[in-house]
Structure 1
Amino acid sequence: MLLKLYKMDLSPPAGAALMICEIHKIPVEMIDVDLIKQENLKPEYQEKNPLHTIPLLEDDDLIIHDSHAILTYLTDKYGKDESLYPKDLKKRAQVDQKLFFDTLLFHRFRSITYSAIFEGLRKPTEKQLKDLDEAYSFLDAFLSKTKFIAGDNMTIADVSILASVAAIRHIIPIDGNKYPHVQSWFTHMSNQSFFKNCAEPGSITLGEILKARLDLMPLKLYKMDISPPVCAALMICDIHNVPVEKIDVNFLKLEQFKPDYVKKNPIHTVPLLEDDDLSIHDSHVILTYLTEKYGKDESLYPKDLKKRAQVDQKLFLDTLIFFRMRAITTPAFFEGARKPTEKQLKDLEEAYKFLEAFLSKTKFVAGDNMTIADISLLATFNAVRYIIPMDFTKYPKVHDWFSHMKSQSFYKKIIEPVTAELEKIVKEILDL
């Protein structure tokens, strides 16, 4: 009777079972069980395996629900020699204890991935990551004494731990400087045909899923708190609860011109967002990107083309207004030009007229619901008002909109703490 192996390719324990079947050339019927769709919770599967885990091996009347036991059973039954699982008691004990060690590795890995896939927890705790990194240190200590996990020859312990490490590296990459023995061992093992044929495809799929569901590499936001575009980016991070590492760049000290920063952002502006290999140097694109990636719904940035166009054109309007303001502040900061021209002030006040006209038709800037356009323009007008005060008699709609936006928690948390400093700097550099 043909053996049956219930599996899901992206599962590390299933990957180990698949590799051992390949190594021993075992004829086996493969049956897929999709954990993400919770097919493992179906009554007929739970009757076979009350733990509802994979892999599950059926050999006639025998059911084995643990991957390590599957490896020992299949190797004892089909192995051509005892090299992978020695019969010598002392050597076998070395292998067995590393199989139990693999249970620890996988448990630490699963504590992160289960929460991400089934509970929506995108950010592992520091302890979880520390525990997982510690597992590498254990493994490196073992491999500093022997070429393979349980001695100088490959055993089923290597096969089992290979599957686990291939998954763990998607959360914490193997640092060859810290763990050179692990790196060397993994390079050798991952080049074996049984890994490439049986475990690598599932591992790649798993990596893609984890990248989508976990915030593993913290986003980096280069910022200066009084900058309006930075305030907009910080507010959207607060709204979406985006985990981000904040790195200060002091424009007044010209830190934006340092070679390492110019290399990241040739136009040497802030904010700058780094997300893995992606760099975004425009605040409006940062708002759209983070809202697309982290937004719980599409209210802030609609997918409907007509509604999105309304938002997009107001983001470009914000660019126009910001550059009118910057035409005054940049010469004041860096050239000592304390007195704006009449045209500069007239152009900046015209921005209030533009906004008043739009807000006379809709409650918010791009419609009747708040969008990222409101967030961006809020940050800009918060700065503009210190050059040209907001006249509520001339611009009542702008005043009402601004008052409403100021009452939001993201404004109070991000902008309110820096308003006094911003106002002070404007008064110091400009004769208004």
Structure 2
Amino acid sequence: MTPILYGFAGSPSVGSVLLCAKALGLNLNIKPVDLFKLEHLKSKFLALNPQHTVPVLDDEGFILSDSHAINAYLASKYGKDTSLYPVDIKQRAIVDQRLHYDSSSLFARGLVISKIILFEGAKDIPQKNLDLLKEAFEVSEKLLQKEWIAGDQLTIADFSFVTSLTSWSVYIPLSEKEYPKLAAWRKRIENLPYYYVYQQSLDTFVKLMKNKVPKAVATDMAPTLYGIEGSPPVGAVLLCAKALDLNLNIKPVDLFNLEHLKSDFLALNPQHTVPVLDDDGFILSDSHAINAYLASKYGKDKSLYPEDLKKRAIVDQRLHYDSSTLFSRGLVISKSILFEDATDIPQKNLDLLKEAFEVSEKLLQKEWIAGDQLTIADFSFVTSLTSCTVYIPLSEAEYPKLAAWRKRMESLPYYYVYQQSLDKYVELMKDKVPK
């Protein structure tokens, strides 16, 4: 039976799934969802995806949202080989890192601009948003170290990056002068025999925006983790390592003294974020990708990151929801307070974070975030949600399922390793969060 894809013509995320399906020789039954008519907010669609975003896949009753998770699932299930989503854990970890970078930064930053133009009628784009998007372009240029985004071969990461970069070029030109590696890579992507399926989608997006865009170590040696105490993503990795009974060599990175912007750290991670893992010379950033890698390499069983395609796809979807929405929305508030000396939190930002809490409550359909067993998704969600309670209380009255799940997390014998980090964060924010 042909899988069904719910989507909107012109959506970069939908375009990436169309590219992946064509690369796989897979037909999809496309079901249009008109965002402008608010069809994504109707009860029938919300039953499929409480996050009310496109695309959504229905593969014989298996429902999955988020283009990154969908592509990983499709490549794993329908791929004639494993080239698009490698089974080698290091190669896959790099692909995962790129996917999370797209969902949390590259795609997310362009989406912010698109939303204010398309749905809020913005007459101009805040320079801060353009600067953040430009930074994402610059990091993408640095991440492109070989012929393709994640290495020597084309992978699903290329589909996500090309759809984000080309769509967001309506705001920032993807010029050969500024981004020579990306420009050459874009030409390689455009030469793919099936690229046309996305070009049609891109043309729709460009036409839509045309008159709306305002001018103007040995293998038995402990892996090294670079991070700062109090960081939720660092805490997620600490939880995962403890669950795996894996020792880590912690290397502090003081963000307040700008150590993450020094050349030696930038050589490890041009995105200049923590955590960063160094496992015997294998360098990986993004806590979600790091935890997937650690669970795959060091797990005594596969429970934390299941091998079953559908179970893993659900974990991946939860991870991408955290990186793109739940964690990201809290990070926007934290950054403004810690690094921009904000004296108040815009109500809009609080509303967005509250919505992320509400969606998380709906996603928690069983005992754990991604199903019947504890997975790495729980580590990401618990660190994001508990750290954000300095802004929005995780009350039992409003979020009964999350509150009960939090108690289950706190009863884990190794939870203390994160509690220490959380206490540090709460102490840090104590006198800084506006009343």
Question: When the two structures are superposed, what TM-score results if normalisation uses the length of structure 2?
Answer: 0.49
Structure number with larger C-alpha Rg: 1
Relative to its length, the structure with more helix (as a share) is 1
